[in-house]
Structure 1
Amino acid sequence: MITALNRENVYIGFDLQEFNRIREILEANQIDYAQKVNNHAGSWALEGTIRGRAGSFGQNIDFQYEYEIYVHKKDYQKTKYLIRK
């Protein structure tokens, strides 16, 4: 089980294709992972969403979603090697 105390970040970025490529590598090598997707236009500190309040004019949709992948610390070195292959 991957928790906040025993994990290492192997990917953080905005590229969905790279995110999926890394996930496929991890699944093919039976490495457990956790993923997180942050929608930067989907929340606002007060109420509603940024998009709902201000619209999407001027926002680059390529940077709307931020993707993160974590693996267990014991799998970190192997994962980094497989990703760079």
Structure 2
Amino acid sequence: MITIFNRRELITLASAQKYYHVREALTATGIPSAVKVRGAARAAERARYGIAGAQTDTMYTYTIYVHRDDYERAASAMQTALRNS
């Protein structure tokens, strides 16, 4: 179980596609993870109407946390996933 006391931040991503690649790699290696999603709600509402030049993919940031004992294995899996994506 990952709690605030035993977790370590692995990476913060602004791309949903990269986020999914990293999560898939962690799941494939059996490393549990937790995610905090931060976004601009007002920007997301405006996106429905269309803002010229706004990318909907970058409206959220995804922070992935792993257990501190699994950090080295998770970092290795993450680097492989990001290289292959």
TM-score norm. by structure 2 comes to 0.74
Tell me the equivalent position of 2:69.
74
1:38 matches 2:33: no
Distance in 2, Cα, partners of 1:67 & 1:51: 15
Higher Cα Rg, which structure = 1
Could you tell me how far 1:63 is from its partner in structure 2? Answer: 2.6
Unaligned runs of 5+ in 2: 81-85
Whole-Å separation in 1 of the counterparts to 2:62 and 2:15: 8
Q: Which consecutive aligned stretches of 4+ in structure 1 deviate over 6 angstroms post-superposition?
A: none
Q: Check the 8 A contact 2:37/2:61 in 1, yes or no.
A: yes
Unpaired stretches in structure 1, ≥5 consecutive residues: 43-48
Instruction: Work out whether residues 11 and 19 of structure 1, in 8 Å CA contact, stay in contact via their aligned partners in 2.
Output: no
Task: Report the residue type matching 2:29 in the other structure.
Answer: N
Contact 2:36 2:62 (8 Å CA) reproduced: yes
Q: How many residues align?
A: 76
| Contact kept? 1:7, 1:71, Cα under 8 Å | yes
Counterparts of 1:9-24 in structure 2 under 5 Å? Answer: 9-24=9-24
Please state which structure has a larger fraction of its residues in helix: 2
RMSD over equivalenced CA pairs, Å: 1.9
Give the TM-score, by structure 1 length: 0.74
Over residues 44-79 of structure 1, what are the superposed CA-to-partner deviations in whole Å (9 max), with x where a residue is unaligned? xxxxx5666xx5556553431111110000000111
Percent identity among equivalent residues? 30
